[in-house]
Amino acid sequence: MSRRWHGGVQQGCGDRGQISTGSLAEQILYEIGDPQAYAMPEVTCDFSNVQLEVLAEDQVRVWGARGHPPSGKYKVFALIDDGWQGIFSGVTTGRNAAEMAQKTGEAILSRCQTLLRDRNLGNWTAAASEVIGAGASYGAHRPMNMDTREAVFRVVMYHADRAGAELLTRVAGASLASMAPGTSNRLGAPVVSRKMRMSAFLMDAARVPARITAAGETVSLPPVLPSAPFRREMLAPNAPLPKAGDTADTAEVSLSTLAWMRSGDKGDKVNIGVIARDPDFVPHINAGLTEEAVATWFAHILADPSNPKVRKYELPGLHAFNFLIDEALDGGVVASLRFDAMGRGLAHQLADFPVLVPTALAAAMQGNTP
C-alpha cells in the first residue's frame, strides 16, 4: 500500500494559504451537485475525472475536466419578502450551563407567546431556541457527558408583523435580570429585521432576454442554447468493494482518518464532499458511506427523516464522493432558524462517522489521525 498523507487540515496554512491536493479537491467539490453535470451558462462541466498531481510545494497540476454543451438554463436565486424576524443571543455560565441556556430560551419564547396572544398580534410563523456549545447540532451523535460551563442560547422568532417580532427583543432584554444567575446578554443587542425566503431553481434561458445598451443603442443577444443533448458518460469503475469474507478481521476508525471533507449550501440543499487521503482507502469509504448511512447519520437535520433525499456521486479522478442532501437546511440560509444555516459544520460532524477497515490498516494508521 502506498502512503500519501498530504498534510492534515487542508483549509489554510498560516496567512499565506496552502496549495495541496487536499485543499484543491475540497474546493472543487465545494457547493456542487452532480459532478458530471455542473451547470453554467456557457458550458456543462464534468469534474468526475479531474486529477491532481503534486509537482512541488504549493504547486499542484490539475487536469481532466471536460465540457459538454450548455444546459440552456440559467440558475436563479430569488428572494421573497416573508415578514419579520427577531433574534437574541445570550450566555449562561456555571454548572449545568447548557440546561440553564435551554430553559432560558424556552422561557423567553413562552413569555413571547403569551404577550402575542394578549395583544392580538397572532402567533409567530416559526420560532426556535438553540444552545450553542453543548453539541446540540450533532443530534444523536452529540458527545456524551460534556461538562459545559459556558453556553450560548440563541432565540429566533419569525412573525408576519414587525410589532410581533419586536416583542422578542423586549421580552429578552427585560427577562435577563430576573432569570438564572450567570446569564448575560454581552453578545449584543437583540435584532429585528426583514425576513426573506429564498427560492433556487433553473429557468429556460430563452425566457430571459439579454440586452446590452451602449451609447444609446440597444442590442439584443440570443440565449446560449445547447447544441446537442447532454449525454452522461459511464464512469470507470471505482475500486472494488471489500468482499464479505474480507471484513472478518476489522476495526472501526473515524472517517477523518481516511478522508478530507468539506460541506456547503445550495438553497435548502447541502453537499458534503469526501476525498480519500489515499486511493487505497476508497473501497472502505465506499462500502461504509452509503446513501442510507448518510441519511441516518443526519436524520436530525432532515425535513422528513422518513423520506430522506440523499444522492451519492462518485469522482474517480479525485478518489472522492459527493453527497447531496435535499431539504436539510430548514429552508435555506435566509429562512433557516438554525445557527448553521449554510451547513458549513456538517462535514465536521461527518468526520466522526465510523468506517470498518482491516485491523492491520487501522494499526498502521495510528498516529496519523488528524
| Same domain for 329 and 305 | yes
- How many structural domains compose the chain? 2
Q: Please tell me what DSSP assigns to residue 345.
A: T
Q: 63 and 184: one domain? A: no
- 166 and 186 housed in the same domain: yes
Q: Are residues 264 and 354 in the same domain?
A: yes
State residue 234's pLDDT score: 66
- pLDDT for residue 197 is more than 70: yes
Residues 150 and 190 in one domain: yes
Domain-embedded: residue 270: yes
Task: Write the CATH number for 145.
Answer: 3.30.70
The stretch 143-171 carries a mean pLDDT of: 89
With respect to residue 190, please indicate whether it lies within any of the assigned structural domains. yes
Instruction: Count H helices and E strands in the chain, helices first.
Output: 7, 18
Q: Mean pLDDT check: name the lowest of 104-113, 214-223, 342-351, 359-368.
A: 359-368
Which pLDDT value is given to residue 235?
A: 67
Q: Of the candidates 47, 17, 51, 62, which has an alpha carbon nearest to the alpha carbon of residue 271?
A: 47
Residues 254 and 353 in one domain: yes
Residue 3 falls within a domain, yes or no? no
Are residue 63 and residue 101 in the same domain, yes or no? no
62 and 151 share a domain?
A: no
Q: What is the mean pLDDT of the chain?
A: 85
Residues 190 and 267 in one domain: no
Same domain, 95 and 152: yes
Closest CA to 347 of 363, 334, 328: 328
Q: Where are the alpha helices (DSSP H) in 96-215?
A: 97-118, 162-175
Evaluate if residue 71 carries a pLDDT over 90: no
pLDDT mean over 340-348: 89
d(CA 126, CA 116): 13
Per-residue model confidence (pLDDT) at position 183: 80
* Distance separating alpha carbons of residues 88 and 322, to the nearest angstrom: 35
Answer yes or no: is pLDDT of 15 > 80: no
The residues that bridge with 67 in the sheet, in sequence order, are: 45
Q: In terms of residue numbers, what domain contains 92?
A: 78-198
114 and 52 within one domain: no
Looking at the predicted structure, is the pLDDT value of residue 242 above 70? no
Residues 63 and 91 in one domain: no
Q: How far is CA 285 from CA 58, 208, 254, 321, in A?
A: 27, 43, 10, 9
Report in angstroms the alpha-carbon separations of 287 from 185, 240, 247, 281. 47, 9, 11, 10
Last residue of a domain, one of 198, 222, 256: 198
